[in-house]
């Protein structure tokens, strides 16, 4: 396939004004310098704020639009080489109470992206998913599972065309909107932190680590893979005591659609997965995939799964404080 170059590429970033999108743009401008980056989002205020931040950066373009609107997605896709799809409704409680809206954005929006990418012969399309897509117990996770399937099997729709679609799936982002970290910060002055269950564990990754991993996956993607980074776990109880050591804990009970432990790679998926130094890669069940299998990976043992509770890598309090500090 030859060496991958960013400097001659046009990148379309959906959800470009969100937490991930802003960090990804920062990384692109500082390190990769693509020919152009198109920021596609619904929020005109945040687009204006990004324009103010980056001034007259010539590679940035701003498109007001919604992934629910196939005509606007089609127009934004013209001349694009790479799509990074980060647009989503992702708040678990909000999706539980507004399931029709979650379906429109997370599922139908994904369909619009894949259709437009194929029609415009975009080379590489990478979508961001979530640990909640694995054995989902809530609407958000279910819509993300559907999104994954749409992107993986979008390669079958592409056929002989050059478009190749892949997925990146990772866990909770420290300090992002909806994360428990800002909630604990807000509660800290009271001395009382609320947790839903003392047994709860979660995977953790920083925005910068997530952006860097997505960029690497764009370079490696051949079409149909689900990339899962190896990231550490921490108990919510330990996170609370790390942030506010002398706090009192108020246990409120698990919310609708919430899990005790998160799963990034299920036992069933592991049978079709390869392990690399930095990640796992779930290979697609396509007859042609044997020709494109990623080199250097090793097969996983029977019964393997990758859960926040059986993770061999656990954050120390000092490591978590450093992660929180890097986001502050």
- pLDDT above 90 as % of the chain: 83
How many of the other CB atoms lie within 10 Å of CB of 278? 11
- pLDDT above 70 as % of the chain: 96
Position 178 scores a pLDDT of: 64
Q: What count of Cα atoms within 13 Å lies in the side-chain half-sphere of residue 252? A: 8
pLDDT tens string 187-231: 999 999 999 999 999 999 999 999 999 999 999 999 999 999 999
CA-CA distance, 38 to 53, in Å (whole number)? 16
| 172 or 106, which is more confident | 106
Q: How confident is the model at residue 56 (pLDDT cuts 50, 70, 90)?
A: confident
Q: What is the mean pLDDT of the chain?
A: 93
pLDDT tens string 294-326: 888 999 999 999 999 999 999 999 999 998 876
Q: pTM higher than 0.85 for the full model?
A: yes
Strands (E), the chain: 10-14, 36-41, 60-64, 82-85, 124-130, 164-170, 172-173, 192-195, 201-205, 226-229, 233-235, 248-251, 263-265, 273-275, 279-282, 298-299, 306-307
Position 182 scores a pLDDT of: 85
CA-CA distance, 176 to 20, in Å (whole number)? 8
Q: How confident is the model at residue 33 (pLDDT cuts 50, 70, 90)?
A: very high
CA 69 to chain centre: 22
- Where residue 289 falls (left for φ over 0; alpha for ψ -120 to 50; beta otherwise) is alpha
* pLDDT over 60 at 328, yes or no: no
Question: Is residue 138 within 8 Å of 98, Cβ to Cβ?
Answer: no
Position 2 scores a pLDDT of: 59
Position 109 scores a pLDDT of: 98
CA-CA distance, 134 to 261, in Å (whole number)? 11
Q: Provide φ and ψ at 264, rounded to 5°.
A: -100, -25
Please give the torsion angle defined by the CA atoms of residues 110, 179, 229 and 160, in that order, rounded to the nearest 10 degrees. Answer: 10
Q: How confident is the model at residue 291 (pLDDT cuts 50, 70, 90)?
A: low
Reading the block at residue 243, the tokens are 């942030």
Average of per-residue pLDDT across 32-41: 98
pLDDT tens string 160-197: 899 999 999 998 888 676 678 888 989 999 999 999 99
Residue among 116, 167, 178 nearest 145 (CA): 167
- The domain 10-172+205-230+262-306 is placed in CATH, from the list 3.40.50.1980, 3.40.50.970, 3.40.50.720, 1.20.120.140, at 3.40.50.720
CA-CA distance, 87 to 89, in Å (whole number)? 7
Residues involved in catalysis = 132
Position 159 scores a pLDDT of: 87
């Amino acid at each position: 396939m030859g060496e991958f170059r960013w400097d001659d590429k046009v990148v379309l970033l959906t959800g470009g004004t969100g937490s991930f999108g802003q960090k990804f743009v920062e990384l692109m401008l500082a390190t990769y310098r693509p020919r152009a980056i198109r920021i596609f989002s619904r929020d005109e205020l945040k687009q204006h704020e990004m324009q103010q931040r980056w001034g007259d950066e010539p590679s940035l373009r701003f498109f007001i639009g919604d992934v629910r609107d196939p005509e606007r997605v089609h127009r934004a896709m013209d001349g694009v080489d790479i799509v990074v799809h980060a647009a989503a409704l992702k708040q678990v409680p909000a999706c539980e109470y507004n399931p029709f809206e979650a379906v429109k954005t997370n599922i139908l929006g994904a369909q619009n992206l894949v259709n437009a990418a194929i029609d415009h012969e975009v080379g590489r399309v990478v979508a961001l998913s979530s640990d909640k897509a694995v054995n989902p117990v809530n609407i958000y996770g279910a819509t993300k599972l559907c999104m994954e399937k749409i992107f993986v099997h979008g390669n079958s729709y592409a056929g002989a065309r050059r478009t190749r679609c892949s997925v990146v799936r990772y866990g909770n982002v420290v300090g992002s909107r909806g994360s428990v970290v800002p909630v604990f910060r807000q509660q800290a002055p009271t001395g009382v932190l609320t947790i839903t269950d003392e047994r709860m564990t979660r995977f953790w990754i920083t925005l910068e680590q997530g952006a860097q991993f997505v960029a690497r996956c764009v370079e490696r993607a051949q079409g149909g893979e689900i990339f899962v980074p190896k990231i550490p776990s921490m108990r919510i109880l330990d996170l609370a005591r790390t942030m506010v050591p002398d706090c009192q804990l108020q246990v409120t009970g698990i919310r609708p659609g919430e899990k005790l432990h998160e799963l990034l790679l299920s036992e069933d998926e592991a049978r079709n997965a390869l392990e690399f130094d930095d990640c796992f890669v779930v290979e697609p069940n396509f007859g042609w995939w044997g020709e494109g299998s990623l080199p250097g990976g090793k097969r996983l043992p029977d019964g393997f799964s990758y859960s926040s509770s059986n993770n061999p890598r656990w954050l120390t309090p000092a490591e978590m404080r450093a992660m929180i500090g890097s986001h502050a």
